[in-house]
A and B are shown apart, each in its own frame.
Chain A
């Protein structure tokens, strides 16, 4: 049994809009006294106290997808133990919820609280009312976690991206007026890269890098603006690496051909006639072409560098229009100039960010079944990288997949399989309506 510390701290900026629409939609926001937000936080804390954290390998955060679950259920964290057993900790829902586990503790959030489990097993729940949709979560060098939550447009017409900072002393909030899609921590500052769609002219979409936390202090200002390399750049990642003042992430450049008749082979390099940019073309079969790329944004100079990803000759890598968008990696993925990431074909890759050349780190067992992107193969992956070990949670979201639920861990950079643990009860513990969105691996556990 661990010591319990239940701290409740009031956010500096309460999320008033949430309270407003809770009142308006009261008919649906069930207000049974026993299910109030404070009671939920206490229940979650009680459950967290019962966990033997020294035996926990990882946690998985899941919640119903809002658009498909009208029953109003909560979310949960599934605790995955070294012996393959699992346990469920319930909380209020947070769609696309994220978790972060570092030597400064484990953090995750629901709509009402931010939860911190520290190394000694003490559990804290900080009151933090926020939108129930998480866009990102990063870890600063000093151990502070920064979460980002999508609140939509505020009454004044600006965006309401709620930024929370969480450490052992509590949780605070401030607001960003842009909707960012990529988040990174550089030192003790946090950044986002936003897609700006001008009103009345969405075809002139620009990309904006913003600083959202400056040396631990709330911030919200643009640093640099760029247009897309081709007709559109697509990117989305809740936590990406930052090294030597460069944010690095995987993106996809859209090639607007406007014709179904032009279908170049995907292994032929494509050179854009206007920019001269050469990339490995991906064709979705409907005339929509794109190029997978690595982007490097310097937070000091604002410079943007786009590097095409080259996987020609890499076995088992089958590109689709979703592949770059669904690549799995996290803020610890950049090691000595190589980006380590999971291609949805089930291949762990290492990409030289100086030239885009890519090689295999490891191939997940069973990938030879050629299931293609996980979205067609009834298999999903999530990754977490800790101290040069890349852990992959592989599972079947609908229970119909080929593989058991398991975590496979590979050493960086040699790709050796260092551990493999099955969790046969993982799906049994989960509501059928839940989407598994994030895993966090225990950094102190020797796998």
Chain B
């Protein structure tokens, strides 16, 4: 029989609602069960749970409360991804997101803070095959953006996100945020076509969580990687505005090789 410990949680909140206490108790039960079943020592650290810091746990509770159905581990994983993409520390992302969540007004008829939405406009048709788009979408309050390339005027190749494959899809199924940029790549149509051909070969690839080192055509791919590699390998055009080992959606938008012809509103 493994040793059983009860861990009390210090939550820096003024008042804790009964529902939040239920969440806390539930989490303790899960962690404790994990220790009994799987651990051979101080398993608390190995369960994947973060160390308890003032503010962090309270912030996490706020976010979980605002996103019913999302588990603690899922929230931490998402924050880790966002932190990686934005160069922040995961805890900072959680705390900042919770502050923003509490500061937001609830939309009429809604039931919670919209922490990951903003994409509610169907993206218009492009002017040319090979056009690219940038959508200023955010998660947990951090604008990470999203990129894609038009394989035809009406279809898009994009890497949607963590756990998703690179897709070839109709644009009617793709919604972007207000303020999105549709851009043409300043080159010949023949080179745009070559980039499209290259992009189509990525359809079906798994998602690459690493934005910091994503200038490769091998293996999993993320959204800006699909666009950048399509043009770099397909046509020899480097769409990264600031160089380095990683290319982010905003880097493509800011590239000197791209020109905005439509801002979606």
Contacts and interface: CB of A to CB of B under 8 A. Distances in A.
B108 interface: yes
Given A28-B77, A67-B146, A433-B114, A153 B204 contact: yes
Given A68-B137, A286-B261, A153 B206 contact: no
B151 A197 contact: yes
A134 to B, nearest CB: 10
Interface stretch (B4-12, B118-126, B236-244): B118-126
B163 A25 contact: yes
Contacts, number: 219
Contacts of B185: none
Interface centre among B169, B175, B201, B203 (most CB of A within 10 A): B169
B153 interface: yes
Interface stretch (B16-24, B51-59, B192-200): B192-200
A64 B161 CA distance: 11
Contact of B154 (A29, A30, A96, A236): A236
Contacts of B153: 232, 234, 254, 288
A1 interface: no
Contacts of B117: 68-69, 398, 432-433
A90 interface: yes
Given A25-B220, A197-B151, A433-B117, A67 B174 contact: yes
A68 B175 contact: yes
Interface string B232-254: 00000000000000000000000
Interface in A278-302: 284, 286-288, 290
B69 A431 contact: yes
Interface in A288-320: 288, 290
B67 A71 contact: yes
B69 A69 contact: no
Contacts of A151: 165, 204
* Prevailing SS type, chain B contact patch: loop
A181 B168 CA distance: 10
Interface residues of A, number: 72
Interface in A1-37: 17, 21, 24-25, 27-30, 32, 35
B120 A150 contact: no
Contact of A66 (B77, B109, B164, B201): B164
A432 B119 CA distance: 11
Specify which of B110, B118, B144, B151 lies most central, judged by the most chain A CB atoms within 10 Å of its CB: B110
B114 A432 contact: yes
Contact of A27 (B127, B167, B209): B209
A284 B153 CA distance: 13
A375 B122 contact: yes
Categorize the interface residue count of chain B: 35 or more
A68 B119 contact: yes
A358 B178 CA distance: 33
* Candidate in B118, B172, B174 with the most chain A CB atoms within 10 angstroms: B172
Contact of B146 (A68, A205, A236, A321): A68
B168 A179 contact: yes
A236 B170 contact: yes
B91 interface: no
A236 B172 contact: yes
A219 interface: no
A330 interface: no
A72 B262 contact: no
B154 A90 contact: no
Contact of A24 (B120, B140, B151, B220): B220
Interface of A: 17, 21, 24-25, 27-30, 32, 35, 64-74, 90, 95-96, 131-133, 150-154, 160, 179, 181, 195, 197, 199-203, 205, 232, 234, 236, 252, 254, 284, 286-288, 290, 321-322, 325-326, 375-376, 397-400, 424, 427-433, 435
5 contacts: A28-B162, A65-B174, A69-B139, A284-B124, A286-B261
Given A151-B204, A153-B204, A236-B173, 16 more contacts: A21-B206, A24-B220, A30-B73, A64-B116, A65-B119, A66-B160, A67-B223, A68-B177, A72-B74, A72-B77, A96-B169, A152-B165, A203-B129, A288-B125, A399-B109, A435-B175
